[in-house]
Structure 1
Amino acid sequence: MIVRQLQEAEKTDRRIVSPDGNWESTRLLLKGDNMGYSFHITTIYKGADFRLHYQKHLESVYCISGKGEVETLADGKKYPITPGMLYNLDQNDEHMLRAFEEMQMACVFNPPLHGTEVHNAEGSYELEAEAIHD
């Protein structure tokens, strides 16, 4: 059994802060845990407005707290993000993410992240990155 506590994980190298200052993510499950997906608690900082395009990963995002919106760029549709809302990037959707308030999100990635990933110039994660080991 794998057991991790968020507040303890936040004090380790499992907490990744984006170089652009838009978010931070504590990666509770990673590829090395052999679950077939990764699970993160991510904070999107108030005022963040940035483009993402996970070309090699599928993502599900559940809003725990805060308010914002996600806009799919292919069709320009905007979806409000509020607590209890789940959105799924099931088509490698290129999108904009905006935080009107600080948002705390639970995120699942398939394939799983290794641990140290941050977004590249295209707003995506690379498939291979440095792994975090306990």
Structure 2
Amino acid sequence: MIVRTVQETTGTSRHASGPGWDSKRLIVAADNVGYSVHDTTVAEGAEQILEYKHHIEANYCFAGEGEVVDVATGKTYPLRPGSIYVLDKHDRHILRALKGDLRLVCVFNPPLAGDETHEDDGSYAPIGGVGVD
């Protein structure tokens, strides 16, 4: 059984951040469960252009308000507590935190190692070259 808290993850190698975002990786590849789980905050006013080329990601919003834009279609989806969105086709997207910090529980498959930050194209590199295509 794995039991871990956000507080004990803060400030460790499982805590990554960048301009406008902060992520505590509660479950990572080394935990050997086949996915990673993150408590992620996107700061109010932040906008990120992302595309996870090697991962499938699900995001459950539990605080704040924002939106996610499907770059391919231009369609914008509102995000509020209780919303989930899944990037099941490696969708290039724009994520915006509009009202308060956007708080998300993020699940990645395959899992992240824990210390990754976004590449220039908004993706994460696959661990050891293993990714979902």
Structure 2 equivalent of residue 9 of structure 1 = 9
Deviations 1:23-55 (A, max 9, x none): 000000000100000000000011111200000
How far 1:14 moved relative to its partner?
1.6
Structure 2 equivalent of residue 104 of structure 1 = 103
User: Which residue identity is paired with 1:7?
Assistant: Q
Structure 2 equivalent of residue 81 of structure 1 = 79
SS in 2 for 1:66: strand
SS in 1 for 2:8: helix
Q: How many equivalent pairs are there?
A: 127
Query: Hey, what's the Cα distance between the residues in 1 that align with 2:8 and 2:48?
Result: 29
For structure 1, list consecutive stretches of 5 or more residues without a partner in the other structure: 130-134
For structure 2, list consecutive stretches of 5 or more residues without a partner in the other structure: 129-133
User: Which residue identity is paired with 1:117?
Assistant: E
* Percent of aligned pairs sharing the same letter: 47
Structure 2 equivalent of residue 126 of structure 1 = 125
User: Which residue identity is paired with 2:116?
Assistant: E
TM-score (norm 1): 0.91
Deviations 1:8-28 (A, max 9, x none): 21142221111xx11000000
How does 1:12-27 map onto structure 2 within 5 Å?
12-18=12-18, 21-27=19-25
Structure 1 equivalent of residue 54 of structure 2 = 56
- Aligned CA-pair RMSD: 1.1
SS in 2 for 1:7: helix
SS in 1 for 2:48: strand
Structure 2 equivalent of residue 90 of structure 1 = 88
SS in 2 for 1:87: strand
Query: Hey, what's the Cα distance between the residues in 2 that align with 1:32 and 1:109?
Result: 13
TM-score (norm 2): 0.92
Query: Hey, what's the Cα distance between the residues in 1 that align with 2:12 and 2:122?
Result: 25
